[in-house]
Amino acid sequence: MSENEPPDGAVSTSGSRQWSRALAHYEKPDRWKAIGQLLNTLLPYAILWAAMVWMLRAGLPYWSILPLLLLAAGLLVRVFIIFHDCCHGSFFPSKTANQVLGYVTGLLTFTPYEGWQHPHNRHHATAGDLDRRGTGDVWTMTVDEYRAASLRTRLGYRIFRHPVALFVVGPLLLFLVSYRFPKRGAGPRERRSVALTNLGLLAIIVTAHLTIGLPIYLLIQMPLMAMTGSAGVWLFYVQHQYEAVYWERHAEWDPVRAALEGSSYYRLPRVLEWFTGSIGYHYLHHLRPRIPNYRLRECAAEMPVVPGAEPLTLRGSLTSLYLHLWSEEEQKLVRFPGRRSRDRLRS
């Protein structure tokens, strides 16, 4: 067995419930591993920032910082994974430490801690449930819904599902604009979280203006957010948007099947697995959300349950770009209807 892959020999869904309970010990955070991950993430991130500021203030051409920007964006993805663990209360043993670190990493990623935590927990509670879509997930219509929709709704859905909208425009709007406002129906804690994050970002911007200068700050921060946001949205998208993904009506919905069949195993090269905090083991994360990212790999090595679908590779995951609708009849994600399909719809 390769150390990079979960063991062979999948067991039944009912059997996986027993293993899910047996693997609960991986949910115990390790303080020293957590501190080590903070050091090997935040320290190089700060050094890269300082280097880029120095290079720009020294008058070096902008293109010279592009390799550093790419590395810093990878580290900022890793920062978001730490933030994500804090939202699950899994990074540190202490609830207070998770909350404090969640606010700090939320500032670095422009994401309000409790304002993001609630819809994300909702995503975990409803993933794969067709009757409870709409919170913390990617808008996915069924084939029948698409057929019955108005032309305006279809057009809006097609624009939304276009790769440029999903992975270029969408992430910037999400992190820079949408997260600046509380969600509809948000409680006091979520609203406070959004307000505190906005105040913190304002303080950072004012400090940058008074020290390194606002233009230099924006020349670094904006491309960082663009690259990090695109990578983050892609990871979230591909982990729940592939042909053999699990969706079911609420009456038949099974949370264990939703974890094992509705969340992918994204098999990434080791260096990308490091930058993404092993989030490619997404089926494990949905099965036991409180396992910290730094224990997912060792958990996968012990667990005899593998996801229902084949592992996704970098190349294979690109097919997800062409899958847009859930077919309840075929039980899989399918493309938009072609010309012949549209002719049948009109008849």
Could you read off the pLDDT of 150-191 as tens digits, one per residue?
999 999 999 999 999 999 999 999 999 999 999 888 899 999
**pLDDT at position 311:** 87
Low-confidence ranges of the chain (pLDDT < 70): 1-22, 304-309, 339-347
Beta-bridged to residue 332, according to DSSP, are 327
What are the backbone dihedrals phi and psi of residue 88, each rounded to the nearest 5 degrees, phi first?
Answer: -90, 0
Report the C-alpha gap between 337 and 13 in whole angstroms.
Answer: 33
Among 240, 250, 252, which Cα is nearest to 333's?
240
Residue in the structure block whose two tokens are 């590395």: 71
Beta-bridged to residue 11, according to DSSP, are none
Among 48, 118, 50, which Cα is nearest to 78's?
48
**pLDDT at position 16:** 55
**pLDDT at position 136:** 79
Report the C-alpha gap between 284 and 279 in whole angstroms.
Answer: 9
Among 105, 112, 119, 46, which Cα is nearest to 77's?
105
**pLDDT at position 17:** 61
Report the C-alpha gap between 225 and 109 in whole angstroms.
Answer: 8
- Asked if residue 317 lies in contact with residue 242, where contact means CB atoms within 8 angstroms, the answer is yes
**pLDDT at position 173:** 96
Could you read off the pLDDT of 189-217 as tens digits, one per residue?
999 999 999 999 999 999 999 999 999 99
**pLDDT at position 198:** 98
**pLDDT at position 76:** 98
Report the first-to-last Cα separation within the chain, whole angstroms.
54
**pLDDT at position 15:** 53
Report the C-alpha gap between 226 and 110 in whole angstroms.
Answer: 12
What are the backbone dihedrals phi and psi of residue 312, each rounded to the nearest 5 degrees, phi first?
Answer: -90, 135
